[in-house]
Amino acid sequence: MILFYYKSGSKILQSSDLKLMNDLGFEDIVWIDLNDPLGKEKRAIEAYLNTELQTRAQAEEIESSSRYFESDEIVYGNTNFLLSQGDGYIEEPLSFTICEGILIVSRNTDLRTLTEVSRKLLASHSPYVTGYHLLISILENRIDLDADMIEGIAKEITQLTRKVVVEKVEKETLVYLSQLQENIMTIRENIVDKQRTLSSILKSNLFPSDIQSKVNVMIKDVDSLLNHAGFGFERLEYLQNTVLGLINVEQNKIIKIFTITSVVFMPPTLIASIHGMNFDLMPELKWKYGYVFSIALMVISAGVTLYAFKRKKLL
């Protein structure tokens, strides 16, 4: 599907009519949004701009040289936007091109960031003079969403910490903790990707000078988010060590119980073994109170052992 945004007097309108787009000049169009476009739709945009757009395979490449590059008049870039899926996140590649001052965005699914920027653009186009300004707004909105994600994980970490302290640690707790670690690492990698893009924009000669101050502020925001993400990961590592420590304590309690039980029954077992030999010359063999004496001796030996453990505060 293709949506393009064009100037009409003091307003910005949107349309998907390619015939209307061909009748408009480059200075009239601000943004062309390609959402899972058909091959013929993509070729129509390439013919209109007389340039080639990036493929999805190119958008998914991870080399730094493939994430952002420029020609004399065209900017090419790729980045990833995170989408929630179950308990984690998936990355949706997004490629952008700025040609003749027009921003061309290509993606394969709906993205909340683009929907929000579209709403703002239709409401007031004064902050979005060119496609360069529009791209900065998209990245700014995305960084805000990444910040919300980090705040959400921070709240989950706090809740998990309270749960670990109050409730018994279960296997599910470790699985959940591991998932949070994976989520925060994914967000951090995604933010680093935005950091590289913003750094490249800051060095570019094609972007208008009036956006440089905003880019500097965004880079500082990204640095702050990276610090928060790193702190969150450290909290999770500390919490993981705490959980493993609590598990070890529980295991030690169980081992302690078995150890004490074994030691308590060692003297009675020894006594029972001796009196079970049935030698002819054993004094207690034909004694009237031999059986009672053996039982009493075993009970006393077990009691003495228990008393010794209690005296040493092992019970």
Instruction: State pTM to two decimals.
Output: 0.76
**Planar angle of CA 128, 129, 133, nearest 5 degrees:** 55
pLDDT one-digit tens code per residue, 25-70:
888 888 899 888 888 888 888 888 888 887 777 766 766 666 788 8
Say how many C-beta atoms besides its own lie within 10 A of residue 295's C-beta: 14
Q: What is the tens place of the pLDDT at every residue in 156-177? A: 988 888 888 777 777 788 888 8
The arithmetic mean of pLDDT across residues 186-197, rounded, is 90
- Where along the chain do the CATH 3.30.460.20 domains lie? 2-247
Question: What is the reported pLDDT for 147?
Answer: 92
CA angle 15, 20, 25 (to 5 degrees): 105
Q: Within a 10 A sphere around the Cβ of 90, how many other Cβ atoms?
A: 13
User: Which position has the higher pLDDT, 94 or 124?
Assistant: 94
> Could you tell me the pLDDT band of residue 87, with boundaries at 50, 70 and 90?
confident
Q: Which pLDDT score is estimated for 231?
A: 92
* pLDDT score of 216: 92
* Across 138-144, average pLDDT: 91
Instruction: Cite the DSSP H helix spans in the chain.
Output: 18-23, 39-49, 56-59, 64-67, 112-123, 131-166, 171-203, 212-264, 266-275, 290-311
Report the CATH fold assignment for 2-247: Beta Polymerase; domain 2 (3.30.460)
Residue 225's pLDDT is what? 93
pLDDT of residue 59: 66
pLDDT digits 0-9 by tens, 253-284: 888 888 888 888 888 888 888 777 776 777 77
Average pLDDT over residues 1-8: 86
* Residue 315 confidence (pLDDT): 67
User: What angle, rounded to 10 degrees, do the helices at 171-203 and 212-264 form?
Assistant: 160
pLDDT of residue 139: 92
Question: In this predicted model, which residue has the larger pLDDT, 80 or 127?
Answer: 80
- Model confidence over 214-263: pLDDT tens digits? 999 999 999 999 999 999 999 988 888 888 887 888 788 888 888 888 88
Q: For the residues 92-117, what does the mean pLDDT come to?
A: 88
Q: In angstroms, rounded to a whole number, what is the distance separating the alpha carbons of residues 45 and 29? A: 12
% residues pLDDT > 70 (the chain): 96
Q: Rounded mean pLDDT of 111-133?
A: 85
